[in-house]
Amino acid sequence: MTSLSDPRRNEALRRRPTMKNVADLAGVGVKTVSRVINREPHVSEETIARVRRAAEQLQYQPDMQAGNLRRADRRTDTLGLLVGSVANPFSAAVHRAVEDIALERHVAVFASSLDEDPERELSSVNAFLRRRVDGLILTTIQPSQAYLGAQLDRGIPIVFVDRRPNGIEADAVITENAEGATGAVEHLLALGHRRIAYLGDDEKIFTARERKRGYLDTLRRHGVAPEDRLIVDNLDDEAKASDAVARLLALDDPPTAIFSAQNLITLGVITSLRSAGASTRVALVGFDDVPMAAMLEPAITVVAQDPASIGEIAARRVFDRLDGLDEPARDFIVPTRLIVRGSGEIRPF
């Protein structure tokens, strides 16, 4: 007999019950328990009931890890998601969409933040791979993703999000960056603006490059020569964006409008325009929506992205491939939407 203080009993309590324990308690073989747990046919109602009761009594939870080891399809029902930061609203919206699609298939999602750190990309991907994720959804920052080639060949679906992969052929889901920028710039041109400043992030980032391209091409197409003085790159935080705006406003012929190519930059622009008392004089269109944009004065006109669609499309693509879809890698382009709110409709002075 075992008492509460008997170390063997404590040991037994701590160890999670196994299929064998359930089988013994129910007086059947392990395979029968396996059949019941996995709802396989050819088990009598009575046996099912007995096994269920035993499992219930022991609070048995099957160990998926052990099961997956031998299972034919070798799936872990697990997905890895790599984003800029799970705390960033854009990434969080992508994450949520991925989770919702995954949930339909009883797939759990590992999420990991990158912070634009290439080392972290490698270590996170490896951490996921060692845990045998069935598929990967990645926002990458490594210059090349060739290191993933072997996994792709091995049949692990990899879908890139918000970036196009380099050195590897894989699916990608991206916002129509250049076209969105074109929409913003044409909106400003139509109001009569000609001196339209561009404030953007590091050109090493794919999305920054694309948006800038859209800006430049659109100006040229409309017969406006881009001016170097009105173009500022490498703005990787709010403060830098603010400073850049202050400098632009101090020019002899300051811009009458600003196209801000990223979220955080837009916030810096707003702050700076306000403190210069220029927020109702200089037009502003931002790429990517800003929280509370509609409640600001003036409300901020933006080219909004659709992170929920991006996440959903990426997740569906992963599952389509897991279901055996075998077509060449392709891009999925997700449209943007110009949301007119006020700041972008200010006319040139």
Partner DNA sequence: TTGAAAGCGCTAACAC
Partner DNA sequence: GTGTTAGCGCTTTCAA
Burial class of 62 by CB neighbour count within 10 A (0 to 12, 13 to 18, 19+)? middle
Stretch that binds DNA, among 10-18, 179-187, 188-196, 336-344 (CB under 7 A): 10-18
Stretch that binds DNA, among 65-73, 85-93, 259-267, 292-300 (CB under 7 A): 65-73
9 contacts a copy of itself (rule: CB under 8 A): no
Q: Which is closer to a copy of itself, CB of 135 or CB of 214? A: 135
Token pair 């041109």 is at which residue? Answer: 189
202 contacts a copy of itself (rule: CB under 8 A): no
Smallest gap from Cβ 31 to DNA, in A, equals 3
Q: Which is closer to a copy of itself, CB of 80 or CB of 254? A: 80
Q: Which of 82, 128, 178, 215 binds a copy of itself (CB under 8 A)?
A: 128
Q: Which does 29 bind (CB under 5 to 8 A by kind): DNA, a copy of itself, none?
A: DNA
Residue type, 24: D
Q: How many residues does the chain have?
A: 349
Structural contact between residues 183 and 338, judged by C-beta atoms closer than 8 angstroms: yes
Q: Which of 1, 7, 39, 41 binds DNA (CB under 7 A)?
A: 41
71 contacts DNA (rule: CB under 7 A): yes
68 contacts a copy of itself (rule: CB under 8 A): yes
Q: Which of 52, 67, 226, 229 binds DNA (CB under 7 A)?
A: 67
Structural contact between residues 307 and 94, judged by C-beta atoms closer than 8 angstroms: yes
Q: Which is closer to DNA, CB of 30 or CB of 333? A: 30
Q: Which of 44, 59, 292, 327 binds DNA (CB under 7 A)?
A: 44
Structural contact between residues 225 and 248, judged by C-beta atoms closer than 8 angstroms: no
Bridge partners of 159? 137, 171
Helices 45-58 & 30-37 angle (0-180, nearest 10): 90
Structural contact between residues 242 and 272, judged by C-beta atoms closer than 8 angstroms: yes
46 contacts DNA (rule: CB under 7 A): yes
Bridge partners of 174? 333
Structural contact between residues 178 and 211, judged by C-beta atoms closer than 8 angstroms: yes
Stretch that binds a copy of itself, among 42-50, 66-74, 160-168, 207-215 (CB under 8 A): 66-74
Q: Which of 58, 62, 191, 308 binds DNA (CB under 7 A)?
A: 62
Closest CA to 260 of 275, 272, 277: 272
95 contacts a copy of itself (rule: CB under 8 A): yes
Q: Which does 28 bind (CB under 5 to 8 A by kind): DNA, a copy of itself, none?
A: DNA
Token pair 């997905």 is at which residue? Answer: 79
53 contacts DNA (rule: CB under 7 A): no
Q: Which of 49, 108, 146, 325 binds a copy of itself (CB under 8 A)?
A: 108
Residues 6+ apart with CB under 8 A from 20: 30
270 contacts a copy of itself (rule: CB under 8 A): yes
15 contacts a copy of itself (rule: CB under 8 A): yes
Q: Which of 6, 9, 13, 20 binds DNA (CB under 7 A)?
A: 20
Smallest gap from Cβ 132 to DNA, in A, equals 9
Structural contact between residues 7 and 54, judged by C-beta atoms closer than 8 angstroms: no
Residues that bind a copy of itself (CB under 8 A): 13-16, 59, 61-66, 68-69, 76, 78, 85-89, 92-93, 95-96, 99-100, 106, 108-113, 126-132, 150, 153-155, 267, 270-271, 274, 290-292, 295-297
Residues that bind DNA (CB under 7 A): 15-16, 18-20, 27-32, 34-35, 37-38, 41-44, 46-47, 62-63, 66-67, 69-73
